[in-house]
Amino acid sequence: MRTVHFVVPAELDDPAKPTGGNVYDHRIGRGLADCGWQVIKHAAPGSWPWPDAAAEHALARLINGISDGAVVLIDDLIASVVPDLLVPEADRLRVVVLVHMSIGEAPPGHHVADAETREGAVLSAAAAVVTTSCWTHRIDATEPPG
């Protein structure tokens, strides 16, 4: 049986936060399981994409605990802001980033320093990138970071 480690925001199962991204993540997990994959869900604590040091440290422990060569599907809310962690791990793991909306397209008032550069580094290092819509694919494909 093929296995995928699915790293999602901890709030994924919070019924008070039924975002489109959370609904999509649930559907992806169920769809992979229906196709015969063993899906190991890892809830990353923190306020993604604005994690504090504790959230980044917890994510590093989680990622470091995954076996070499494993497939790791990670929500872009998390992946896009931790290139210092994920880019070096791309040699050890098969990182797949699930992009709902580019972090560079964040709502006003939610600025992430060097967002496009950080996200671009992660997406460039990933084994694959999955975009959730044609619109997201066009934005990410036509507006290179930096």
**CA gap 130, 132 in Å, rounded:** 6
Q: Omega before 49 cis (within 30°)?
A: yes
What pTM does this model have?
0.82
> How sure is the predictor about 145, in pLDDT bands with cuts at 50, 70 and 90?
very low
Q: Is the pLDDT of residue 25 over 80?
A: yes
> What amino acid occupies position 94?
R
Q: What does the pLDDT look like over 58-99, one tens digit per residue? A: 999 999 999 999 999 999 989 988 999 999 999 999 999 998
Element (H, E) at 136: helix 134-142
Residues 126 and 104: beta-carbon distance below 8 Å:
no
What pLDDT shows up at residue 84? Answer: 94
Task: Domain count for the chain, please give it.
Answer: 1
Domain that includes residue 128, residue range:
3-142
